[in-house]
Amino acid sequence: VWSYFVSQKMDQARIRYIEKDIPIAIGGVAIYPGDIIVADGDGVIVVPRAVARDVAKYASRELYNDKNARREKYEKLGWELDDSVINKEL
């Protein structure tokens, strides 16, 4: 697991290496080596590596469509456009 931030210092004497690259389960969700974990303030998802490219394409399209719909509402209300409504081409 890679993390941008470290949450707490651990006593290295308390850490015991047992295995790596094995399937695990957290909260009843299976996570396999190579799976991609995506987390934000709303939650966490596990994306199996086998479908990661398709999921990324779908998510990009959804974001693009969402920004377009939001831009139309901003324009209708006369609001200034910001980054939440400006799309870069896919």
The pLDDT of residue 36:
94
Q: Is residue 2 part of a domain?
A: no
What's the domain range around 36?
14-77
Q: Is residue 40 part of a domain?
A: yes
The pLDDT of residue 17:
79
Q: Is residue 7 part of a domain?
A: no
Q: How far apart are CA 31 and CA 23, in angstroms?
A: 6
Q: Is residue 35 part of a domain?
A: yes
Task: Say how many CA atoms lie within 13 Å of 13 toward its Cβ.
Answer: 0
Say how many domains are in the chain. Answer: 1
The pLDDT of residue 90:
53
- Tens-digit pLDDT profile for the chain (90 aa)? 556 666 667 777 777 778 889 999 999 999 999 999 998 889 999 999 999 999 999 999 999 999 999 999 999 999 999 988 888 765
Q: Is residue 31 part of a domain?
A: yes
The pLDDT of residue 5:
64
In 1-90 the beta strands, taken as DSSP E runs, fall at: 24-26, 29-31, 36-40, 43-47
Q: Is residue 87 part of a domain?
A: no
The pLDDT of residue 74:
95
The pLDDT of residue 1:
55
